[in-house]
Amino acid sequence: MSLTRIAKKDLRDTSRSRMLGVVVVLYVLFTAGVAYIYTLVPAIGPGAGELSLELISFLGAPIGLFVPIIGLLLGFNAIAGELESGSIKLLLSEPHTRSDVVFGKFVGRFVVMTIATLLGFIAALGIVLTLYTELSPVVYGEYVLLTVLFGGVYVSLGIAVSSLTRSKTKATAGVVGLFVVLNWGWGLIGLLLHRVIEGSFIPLGTVPAWYQFFSQGSPGGAFSRVSNAMLDLQGQAQQIAVTADDPWFLQWYVALAILFIWMIVPLAIGYLRFQSMDI
C-alpha cells in the first residue's frame, strides 16, 4: 500500500536526520527532569497521596506546553520542505497519490511522536519509582495514551500548515502563529467574548456554560479537561469544576471528541489544499 510505504520511508528519513534524536532526547530529558523535580517537592514526598494522581497532576501543565512544540516541529516541514526543494515531484512520479503523501507522512511522524512520548514517560517512571514503590499502571497508562493523542493533534496541525504553504519559512511562521493562538491567545479570546456577552473581563460568580465549553475547545483545554476528569481533579487551565450534573457538552467525553476533531479536521483541510495545489 502506497500510504504504508510513504509512512515507512518518512519514518526512515526522519530517523536518519537529527530531528528524531533531538526530539527524543529533549522529550526524555524534559519528562525525566520534571519527574525528578517532583521527587524533590517536600509537600509531595512519599506518602503524600496516590503516586499516579500526584505525578500526572504535576506533569500536566509542562506537558501541555512542551508536547505542542514537539508536534509542530515534527509536522511543519513534512510537505513544505519537499515543495521548496522540488523533491515532491519525484515522490509523486511514483505510484503515490497525494492523499498517500499527506496521510503517510502523518503516520510516519506520529510514530516518531509516539516513540518520544513512550520513552519520556518510561524515563519519568524509572526516576520516580526509585523513591516510590506503588503505582497504578492503569491510570498512568491512560495518561500516556492521552498524551500520545495530544501529540498527534499537533503533528496533524503541523502537517496541515505545511500543506498550506510552499516554503519552510512560511510554514515556520504559520506554526509559530498557531502555537501562540492555541496556547495563549485562546484564553484571551475567551475573556474578550465574556466581556462582550456577560459585561466583564474576568468571570465572576457562576461561570456560564458557554464559557466553560469554549475554554475546553482548544487542544490544550480539551487535553486538560480529559486529564482532570481522569484524575477527578478540578480544571487546571481555567480553575472550573465540571460535575456529572453539568450539560452534556461539558463532560469529559466531549473534550475527548474535540481532541479527535482537532487531529482529523486540520489534516483533511491540508489534504484538500494539497490535492488542488499546482505543483
Residue 52 has what pLDDT? 59
- CA dist 17 and 172 (Å) reads 18
Lowest mean pLDDT among 46-55, 102-111, 136-145, 165-174: 46-55
| Rounded distance between C-alpha atoms, residue 245 and residue 247, angstroms | 7
Cell of 249: 457538552
Q: For the residues of 126-140, what is the DSSP string, one character each?
A: HHHTTT-----HHHH
Query: What integer is the mean pLDDT of 139-166?
Result: 92
From its phi and psi, is residue 199 left (phi > 0), alpha (psi between -120 and 50) or beta? left
pLDDT digits (tens, 9 = 90+) for 197-256: 887 777 776 788 888 899 999 999 999 999 888 876 433 434 445 555 678 888 899 999
> And the C-alpha cell for 221?
483545554
pTM above 0.95? no
Q: Which residues neighbour 31 within 8 Å (Cβ) at sequence distance 6 or greater?
A: 59, 63, 120, 121, 123, 124
127-139 pLDDT tens trace:
777 766 566 777 8
Q: Is the pLDDT of residue 109 over 70?
A: yes
Cell numbers 460568580 label which residue? 205
| Confidence check: pLDDT of 42 > 60 | no
Q: What is the pLDDT of residues 175-200, one digit of tens each?
A: 999 999 999 999 899 989 988 888 77
Higher pLDDT, 172 or 8: 172
Among residues 157, 141, 194, 134, which one has the least CA distance to residue 67? 157
What number is the average pLDDT over the span 111-136?
80
